[in-house]
Amino acid sequence: MAATFEGETEFKTSTGPQKWKPWGKKDVLVLRLAQIQTSTHPDLGDVATPTWEWVTHLGSSVGDDQPQGFYSDTVGAVYVVGRSALGNNRFFFGPQSSTNPQLPTLQPMGFGVDDGFIAKIDSAGSIVWGGLIGSANGGVSDALVSVASRSSGDFLYVAGETSLGPIQIGSRNARSPVLDYRDSSLFLWQIAPCVSATSATLDCYLK
């Protein structure tokens, strides 16, 4: 599942408690449920307490980030897409630990105002690859809103929206043209896996 969170938060996982804090104001949280334990409270009655198999998060250094689409494939990997109000700032594809703060390897710069993002997370909760999409013109709103796959699993399909094209991928400092729209538009991408399936770059997956 995918959600958002604010402030330093501790999660009960199968391997012990994990404490995360967002990179900015509000981050995208991705979790896999392990089990739910039910206990009886004298005032509240039955109370459900979740234990998570794993928890990770991703987000920008400023602003609000929101998941808008989520998909789980047949081997347990998950894909999350959404919108980030990051402006010309960094987006961090990886969690920030309260006890062991380390910057993730993948941290592209935004195109401006709202950008779309996509990330693949493997069955163990590690982020495999991710990327941003945004308008080459900057100053406009872009987002990815849905993600799905064929039953064979060899292609992903991603839907998004832009208020002004052309759309590019990568980051503000390393742009690669993909789609050329001149006004508000919806778009659909077909994403094919590349030879280097562990490459932490979205460019490798777009066809």
pLDDT tens per residue, range 151-175 = 666 677 888 887 766 666 654 444 4
What average pLDDT does the segment 22-40 reach?
A: 84
Q: What is the pLDDT of residue 69?
A: 93
pTM for the model stands at: 0.80
* Single-letter amino acid, residue 69: G
CA distances from 191 to 25, 149, 156, 204 (A): 30, 9, 5, 9
pLDDT tens per residue, range 5-19 = 888 888 888 888 888
- Picking from 25, 199, 20, the residue whose alpha carbon sits closest to that of residue 106 is 199
Q: What is the pLDDT of residue 38?
A: 73
What does pLDDT average to over the chain?
77
Phi/psi of residue 203, nearest 5 degrees: -55, -35
- Picking from 56, 19, 14, the residue whose alpha carbon sits closest to that of residue 34 is 14
Taken in order 158, 161, 166, 172, the sign of the CA dihedral is negative
Name which of 13-27, 61-75, 95-109 the model is least confident about. 95-109
